[in-house]
Structure 1
Amino acid sequence: MSKNEHEQYKYQLSQVAAALQADLHNPELLALQSELQDIIALTAPAKLPERSHSPPPAPAPALFRPGDIVMARWLTGDGSLYPARITSLSGSLTNPVYTVLFLNYNNTETLRSEHVKQISESRKRALEIENSLPSPAIPPPPKPDENTAPAPPPIKKQKVKPKSELDVGKKAWQKFATKGVKSRAVGKVQKIGEKSIFKSPEDGLGRVGVTGSGKGMIKEISTRGKHVFEKKTDDD
């Protein structure tokens, strides 16, 4: 209901009250007066509460817990806000004090609540994922190109004669030592050890490896006649 209609009901009520002064016991006027009073009471505008001049109370500071990622002000640096992790909480509920660790600089600071701000959920999740990932492993050195890398020198393997070949060589030597070798004279066989330069001297005074060593020198005694000079005579 508009304000004008409300004023009209009030005016009608005043007219009914004036008519009742002439006829106090008129039942129609009394019923109309009661009806108008009810309508005016129902349509009266609600009274607004009185405004208080006291300032509104300041909102309570957000209370963070250790482990939360926030935006903290680097007071000992450039004074800007950087992502940080809360490591400890002290102070009171109305005046909390936070110790934070800056994620990108590995520095710690103790800050009051006005220097610690809430971070957006999207950036918070991105930072949590970034800090949970392991550090990248150092890749191994690249392999040398097969076309340019020098070929390693071949490994020389010493051939080991099989046991059968060694046995054959051993038997051949034993046969040679037993039968001996033929000398220049036809039909005569000289065994190993006979007339050898490596045979021990007979008298023990000679040297091994020297032919004829150990034997005494044979002296050739020759009788030389004395020449007699004969003087020739003139008659001869």
Structure 2
Amino acid sequence: MDTTDLETYQVQLSQVELALQTDTENAGLLSLRSELQELISLTQQSLAQAASSSRTDAVRKTANSTPSHTWTAGSDCLAKYSGDGNWYPARITSVGGSAENPVYSIMFKGYNTTELIKGSEIKALPANHQEKVSAPSKRKLTKAEDEERDRKKKRNEKKLEVKAAKAKEQLAKQATWQKFAKKSEKKGVHIAGVAGTSIFKTPDNPLGRGAYRFSLFERRLLDF
């Protein structure tokens, strides 16, 4: 039954009422009027019940859509990740939007990923969350996160290569000097600073000044 049926019954009743004005004792019209009045009453009751049920459903939907938990900045929760639709531990960093339709800025724990999500994409942590913290579920890195990780890895590898090259160069210089010192000793040339003597010690032989100049030359080679 709907409003169209009700309107039909009411029109029919008015026609019967009009006919009874000229034939007030007509048993058929009196019976029809009674039936129509009963139909109109039943239809009105049915429509009232349907309207009440609709209002109840609307209130229930509103209650279900309204978050039962009040989330604030700093709250820990489970949030739905847009990348795969799964739920991960997160922390709310800020709350925006309106009171009726709040928007939450969250950061997933263990990642630097932040997202803006609605209340329907947040839920409370499970009771056994402490056990899960020790072995949190891992989600796949986004393309940007994966590329950033590769860039950091390459930068670290480059730094290690530079350090290794410098160490190798230093070792080569030391080996060159040691080779030069050994050749000089074989030729009878004393290199000051190698055998523990000072390059500034005044020699006792007549060629002292020349020996001093040669020692300075050797010192420059050592610095090189």
- TM-score, normalising length: structure 2: 0.32
Structure of higher RCO (CA pairs closer than 8 Å, 6+ residues apart): 2
* Higher-helix-fraction structure: 2
Q: Between Structure 1 and Structure 2, whose CA radius of gyration is higher?
A: 1
